[in-house]
């Protein structure tokens, strides 16, 4: 393999393929993850057995070794030149943080353990990578070369080749006393290279990709669009908190007598309520978020559910003071023992009944519960956005007046006596 890495990439804006176009790309050319993994398995079975190999088997094993050499060289060059160019890409180097709104274990569904919540989601059957290495594949590269440097790995591969050419076993040559450990390290490197390809193709899936595609049966436009914080922000792009709350109350206003008209079109209300339910649920479902997903910069404070002059004094109307202080617990209890698809169906069914002029049945207990649930979800996601807004305004140096109206103090004292009523 020629050393094409001594020069910088031609396009400074898109260096991904520059880092991968060498050995890594060549090793995986015409190969899939499963096929290369199978090649690796056959290689080590051949290296640790005393059975005679045919010429075709010898040729295939040599091809596998050549691919592994290219891959190891490519990973080493990637690490070396990434550091030399002082290049940082957020999908690689960004930290991952625990999701502060993750559903509490007490309120998680039994099937929750079967879902992949803690990794950046991939459909591959990875067996060797840790959570940190899946979220940052360069850590797997560094781990690989921390055991042996590049020259040591290449010398080991030369011994493998000679062992194969002599049709002998590693156990007889004594060049590798821990072939199983070596096999696991190479398999781990293959898994990390698969993730590197996703990064290079700008096809690195968000940690909640499986929730969008498999559970909600919907798609996301790009990586950042899957951020539930940004989804919550966009919910209020064209509708305010008061307007959405007013329409929820109108939707569940009871008998037809005395009803008022919606302030938005029914289709828009249906869309906003679906978005609200799904966004609140997505906030609960993933263990880790990329750091920038929880950054105040991820929140566009110009799109705010509450008017700017009311932010400092605004209080949610359906949450007690205790519920406001523990938003993750509040949201967990709101969605406790609720199937999201059923909740969406109940809301849409209510909208159909509301628009049916022949419908005269008043609200039942289930509708009242759904109304209260929607109002609580609305309050929680609004508080979350306001928290981001407050942190953002501190960064920008915006200060609000410190004086609190007397009525606010009275209301606060009343709220302190409220009890939790979810």
Q: Name the pLDDT band for 40 (thresholds 50, 70, 90).
A: very high
Higher pLDDT among residues 360 and 72, named by residue: 72
Mean pLDDT, residues 63-77 taken together:
90
Q: Which two tokens stand for residue 388?
A: 């981001």
Per-residue model confidence as pLDDT tens digits over 348-373? 999 998 888 777 667 888 989 999 99
Higher pLDDT among residues 220 and 117, named by residue: 220
E strands present in 27-132: 96-98
Share of the chain above pLDDT 70, in %: 79
Mean pLDDT, residues 96-115 taken together:
82
Q: Do 48 and 171 touch, CB atoms closer than 8 A?
A: yes
* Average pLDDT over all residues of the chain: 81
Instruction: Report the alpha-carbon distance of residue 64 to residue 84 in Å, rounded.
Output: 30
Per-residue model confidence as pLDDT tens digits over 246-297? 999 999 987 766 678 888 999 999 999 999 999 999 999 888 888 888 887 7
Q: Which two tokens stand for residue 11?
A: 């396009």
H or E segment at 392?
helix 365-396
191 contacts: CB under 8 Å, gap ≥ 6: 33, 124, 126, 127, 128, 129, 140
- Does the pLDDT value for residue 413 go beyond 50? no
Higher pLDDT among residues 96 and 397, named by residue: 96
C-alpha distances (whole Å) from 243 to each of 150, 229, 258, 374 are 63, 20, 19, 14
Per-residue model confidence as pLDDT tens digits over 147-157? 899 999 999 99
**C-alpha atoms less than 13 angstroms from C-alpha of 9 in its C-beta half-sphere:** 19
- Does the pLDDT value for residue 59 go beyond 80? yes
- Does the pLDDT value for residue 421 go beyond 60? no
- Does the pLDDT value for residue 345 go beyond 90? yes
- Does the pLDDT value for residue 418 go beyond 80? no
C-alpha distances (whole Å) from 171 to each of 41, 45, 156, 158, 270 are 17, 12, 14, 16, 68
Q: Name the pLDDT band for 399 (thresholds 50, 70, 90).
A: very low
- Does the pLDDT value for residue 2 go beyond 60? no
Instruction: Report the alpha-carbon distance of residue 159 to residue 163 in Å, rounded.
Output: 6
Q: Do 189 and 72 touch, CB atoms closer than 8 A?
A: yes
Q: Is 97 helix (H, G, I), strand (E, B) or coil?
A: strand
Q: Is 250 helix (H, G, I), strand (E, B) or coil?
A: helix
The count of other CB atoms within 10 Å of the CB of residue 409 is 10
Q: Name the pLDDT band for 332 (thresholds 50, 70, 90).
A: very high
Residue among 83, 107, 81, 103 nearest 93 (CA): 83
pLDDT of res. 363: 80
Higher pLDDT among residues 60 and 28, named by residue: 60
Domain residue spans in the chain? 10-94+136-204, 210-415
pLDDT of res. 404: 34
- Does the pLDDT value for residue 16 go beyond 80? no
Q: Is 290 helix (H, G, I), strand (E, B) or coil?
A: strand
Between CA 197 and CA 203, with CA 202 as vertex, the angle to 5 degrees is 70
pLDDT of res. 50: 78
Per-residue model confidence as pLDDT tens digits over 164-179? 888 777 777 666 778 8
Residue among 233, 240, 244 nearest 269 (CA): 244
pLDDT of res. 401: 34
Mean pLDDT, residues 374-403 taken together:
69
- Does the pLDDT value for residue 6 go beyond 80? no
Share of the chain above pLDDT 90, in %: 31
């Amino acid at each position: 393999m020629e050393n094409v890495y001594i020069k910088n990439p031609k396009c400074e804006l898109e260096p991904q393929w520059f880092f991968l176009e060498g050995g890594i790309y060549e090793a995986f050319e015409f190969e899939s993850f499963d096929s290369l993994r199978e090649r690796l398995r056959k290689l080590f079975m051949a290296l640790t057995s005393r059975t005679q190999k045919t010429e075709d088997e010898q040729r295939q094993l040599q091809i596998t070794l050549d691919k592994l050499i290219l891959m190891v060289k490519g990973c080493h060059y990637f690490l070396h030149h990434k550091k030399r160019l002082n290049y940082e890409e957020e999908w690689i180097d960004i930290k991952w943080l625990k999701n502060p709104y993750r559903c509490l274990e007490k309120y998680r569904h039994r099937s929750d353990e079967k879902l992949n919540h803690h990794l950046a989601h991939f459909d591959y059957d990875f067996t060797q990578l840790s959570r940190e290495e899946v979220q940052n594949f360069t850590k797997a590269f560094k781990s690989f070369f921390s055991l042996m440097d590049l020259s040591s790995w290449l010398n080991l591969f030369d011994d493998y080749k000679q062992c194969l050419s002599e049709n002998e076993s590693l156990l007889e040559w004594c060049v590798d006393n821990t072939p199983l450990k070596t096999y696991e390290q190479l398999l781990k490197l293959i898994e990390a290279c698969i993730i590197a390809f996703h990064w290079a193709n700008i096809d690195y899936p968000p940690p909640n990709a499986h929730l969008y595609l498999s559970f909600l049966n919907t798609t996301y436009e790009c990586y950042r669009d899957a951020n539930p914080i940004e989804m919550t922000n966009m919910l209020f792009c064209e509708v305010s908190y008061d307007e959405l709350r007013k329409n929820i109350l109108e939707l569940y206003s009871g008998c037809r007598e005395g009803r008022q008209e919606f302030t938005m079109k029914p289709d828009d209300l249906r869309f906003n309520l679906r978005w609200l339910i799904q966004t609140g649920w997505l906030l609960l479902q993933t263990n880790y978020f990329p750091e920038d997903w929880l950054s105040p910069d991820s929140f566009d404070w110009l799109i705010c559910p509450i008017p700017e002059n009311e932010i400092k004094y605004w209080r949610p109307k359906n949450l007690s003071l205790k519920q406001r202080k523990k938003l993750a617990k509040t949201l967990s209890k709101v969605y406790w023992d609720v199937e999201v698809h059923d909740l969406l169906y109940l809301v849409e069914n209510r909208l159909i009944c509301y628009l049916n002029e022949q419908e005269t049945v008043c609200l039942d207990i289930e509708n009242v519960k759904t109304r209260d649930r929607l109002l609580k979800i609305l309050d929680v996601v609004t508080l979350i956005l306001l928290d981001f807004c407050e942190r953002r305004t501190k960064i920008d140096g915006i200060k609000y007046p410190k004086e609190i109206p007397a009525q606010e103090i009275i209301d606060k004292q009343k709220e302190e006596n409220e009890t939790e009523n979810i």
